[in-house]
Structure 1
Amino acid sequence: MSNDVEMNNQLRDLIPVIRRFAFSLTGSDHDADDLLQNTLERILQKGVPEDADLMKWSFRVCRNLWIDEYRSRKVRQAATENPELQESAVDGTKTIADRITLEQVQRAMNQLPEDQRSILSLVVSEGLSYKEVSQTLGIPIGTVMSRLSRARQSMVDWFNDHDMRILA
């Protein structure tokens, strides 16, 4: 981007879009806010390549930051996991039946591998075309289509397995 003021204005307009994408990756408001902040910080510090579309670049930066965070969490969790320190906070009376809620969709999406979840989010939530997702993530369009198909099938299977209810 040649003009910092112009980029800042465009980035400001993209905040809600990046925030939705961050939430789709993290499944948590708090984590999505942190990821959004880290994404904006990284873009402002490192800039955007001259030939890059700001929205696509933002999605790529956000996704890469989440992958880094996700991997480091797995390492920390494996190092600190101790069954006797875990609490069971199950509310046995909470049951939502016969309707699909945002919480159910998020739970189902959280079951997907990260590569499928990010593609599903970009196509369904953000309305990007397969070609735009391909360009954004730097992967072949066939890979986008294949991962999206597997993600959709996994979502259907998850809802069938859970009888469309949230299991507490």
Structure 2
Amino acid sequence: MQQELKDLLPALRRFAYSLTGSMADADDLLQNTVERILTRDMPSDVDLTKWAFRICRNVWIDECRARKVRRDATENPELSDGQVTDGEHQTTKEIEWSRVDAAMSRLPEDQRQIISLVAIQGMPYKMVAEILEVPKGTVMSRLARARAALSEALSPATLRSES
């Protein structure tokens, strides 16, 4: 299992980055995912790849919920001890990557997850459906909508209108 997990780390890191949009946050998410994988007993009837991606997704969902609670606390100082936390923003230096990142970030989370797993990780629709626990048809329709939205956001006409 150690070697299999080691081989899976680059793909998990890319998936974590696609969810977070920040290398620092992606590394934190990857670390939390690996920690959870190593501290939990893997069910005997589960594929490590599917299980690891599902754990990564669930850890990210937990983090998003925690961030919402912290954000609500900062917006309502009476709920906190007066501490305000600033979010960390890291942008890429390459213009193309920054455009793709921006376009990806505008996608709804369900579409972003699917395009990351299918287009970036190269996973088959069936595996993605199992990881996200949705029907295969849902994966296909969300992927089609995500691709159309990215195509529109990255089209030359959109570039001219942004300038």
Tell me whether the two structures share a fold, i.e. TM-score over 0.5.
yes
Provide the rounded CA distance (Å) in 2 between the counterparts of 1:26 and 1:45.
23
Please name the residue that 1:9 is paired with.
3
What secondary structure, in the 3-state scheme, does the structure 2 residue paired with 1:163 have?
helix
Does 1:152 pair with 2:147? yes
Please name the residue that 2:51 is paired with.
57
What secondary structure, in the 3-state scheme, does the structure 2 residue paired with 1:47 have?
coil
Letter matched to residue 10 of structure 2: P
Provide the rounded CA distance (Å) in 1 between the counterparts of 2:24 and 2:46.
29
Please name the residue that 2:132 is paired with.
137
Please name the residue that 1:19 is paired with.
13
Provide the rounded CA distance (Å) in 1 between the counterparts of 2:35 and 2:50.
16
**Which fold has the larger relative contact order, with Cα–Cα distance below 8 Å and residues 6 or more apart in sequence?**
1
Letter matched to residue 108 of structure 1: A
Unmatched 5+ stretches in structure 1:
1-6, 88-95
> Residues 81 and 164 (structure 1 numbering): CA distance in 2 closer, same or farther, change over 3 Å?
farther
Instruction: Kindly tell me the number of residue pairs found equivalent between the two proteins.
Output: 147
Deviations 1:111-163 (A, max 9, x none): 11211111100001000111111122221001111111121222233335982
Instruction: Name which of structure 1's ranges 127-136 and 116-125 shifts more when overlaid on structure 2.
Output: 127-136
Please name the residue that 2:39 is paired with.
45
Alignment of 1:38-117 (within 5 A): 38-81=32-75, 101-117=96-112
RMSD (CA atoms): 2.6
Provide the rounded CA distance (Å) in 2 between the counterparts of 1:69 and 1:157.
30
Provide the rounded CA distance (Å) in 2 between the counterparts of 1:112 and 1:142.
19
Please name the residue that 2:114 is paired with.
119
> Residues 164 and 59 (structure 1 numbering): CA distance in 2 closer, same or farther, change over 3 Å?
farther
Higher share of residues assigned helix:
2
Give the C-alpha shift of residue 101 in structure 1: 1.0
Unmatched 5+ stretches in structure 2:
77-83, 87-92
Q: Is the 8 A contact 2:114 2:139 kept in 1?
A: yes
Q: Is the 8 A contact 1:100 1:164 kept in 2?
A: no
Q: Normalised by the size of structure 1, how large is the TM-score?
A: 0.78
Deviations 1:46-66 (A, max 9, x none): 122111111111111001111
Deviations 1:8-40 (A, max 9, x none): 121111111111110111010100000000000
Q: Is the 8 A contact 1:21 1:121 kept in 2?
A: yes
